[in-house]
Amino acid sequence: MRLVFGVTATSAMVLGMAGIGAGAAAAGTVTEAIPVGNGPDGVAVAPSGARVYVANFDDDSVSVVETAGNTVVDAIDVGDGPQGVAASAHGSRVYVTNSLDDTVSVIRTGTNALVDTVDVGDNPRGVAVSPFGSRVYVANFSDDSVSVIDTRTNEVVKTIPVGDGPQFVAASPQGSRVYVTNTLDDTVSVIRTGSNTLVDTVNVGDAPTGVAVHPDGTYVYVSNSADGTLSVIEMFRNTVVDDIAVGDAPVGVAVASDGSSVYVTNEVGDSVSVIETYRNTLDDTIEVGDGPRGVVVTPGDSRVYVANNVDDTVSVIAVDTCSGSFCIGTGSLGSLAGGSSPVSFGSTGSIGS
């Protein structure tokens, strides 16, 4: 939502209706940088939007960020080399991959306590929870497999062979498919969750890394870190229908809950590319911290959180929604300075886990 400095959110909306101050902010504005642990990598948001969880690779912890004030309220010790993080659909559990000790840490969010550790494959990276919360899918980079965890028992019930160097994983909104990027053979593996079998392999760009699914289940978005593009896969045919140029070394991918925008972190470019999904075009490039990797959009699509791996921060992007000179703002100047919580006018919704 567009922010007009020096006035409240309500005043900004009125001024926008009058065509005043319509150019005061970019399409996405970094409002602050939150210090977290060392080497932040993966990031996830609770379904309520109240908390953001950040995996810190270099100090074996997860930072818990309270989004109302954008402050770190807890740090949870996990395994060795945490990278991926995902929240369950009901919000009671967070799952963290520990790439250096081949485990997944299970966190109870009500107490921010580690409640279980699950042995998985070699060098686990990406993680996704099924929409209904019964399964967790873990990409094991060094043994070319996906571990399937039953969340009732926290045990691996299946190991699925995929491509070479699986990195990130995403589940479809209906839960019927899981998509896995294989960085070393430039493909995406498609898994049917009912049988936990590989049903298709899609050729994409060079060194695919991040992956996210459109909320209506029509498209899959894949960042190709070695050629600076975003591949768009049509899910019905498992065919690439577009390749969009983004920034330098794209990694993380997140889709807004309304499906209108895709956010891509560019690790070498220190930026986030914003893609408008209707035309599959680059809409904006936002400068963030040093070495951005993980990215997540809050429910309601008002803010984007980006984990900056090199400078140990999380950038907070305030999302702008404008049509011509009519702009709807989120928050006041006080919220930008760490004061009152943002006031949101406009779209509502939730984001799948």
Using alpha carbons, select from 190, 191, 242, 187 the residue that is nearest to residue 209.
187
pLDDT tens track for 193-224 = 999 999 999 999 999 999 999 999 999 999 99
Which residues, at least 6 apart from 233, have a Cβ–Cβ distance to it below 8 Å?
A: 179, 188, 202, 204, 219, 220, 221, 222, 239, 240, 241
User: How far is CA 333 from each of CA 23, 266, 311, rounded to the nearest angstrom?
Assistant: 16, 28, 26
**pLDDT at 322 > cutoff 70:** no
324: left (phi over 0), alpha (psi -120 to 50) or beta: left
| Reported pTM | 0.86
Q: What angle do CA 6, 7, 12 make, to 5 degrees?
A: 130
> How far, in Å, CA of 107 to CA of 76, rounded?
9
pLDDT tens track for 41-61 = 999 999 999 999 999 999 999
Place of tokens 């990276």: 125
Tokens, residue 277: 């999904």
Mean pLDDT score, 94-123:
99
Which residues, at least 6 apart from 265, have a Cβ–Cβ distance to it below 8 Å?
A: 210, 250, 251, 252, 253, 271, 272, 288, 292, 293, 294, 295, 306
> How far, in Å, CA of 156 to CA of 95, rounded?
14
What does CATH list as the number for 30-319?
Answer: 2.130.10.10
The domain locations on the chain are 1-25+324-336, 30-319
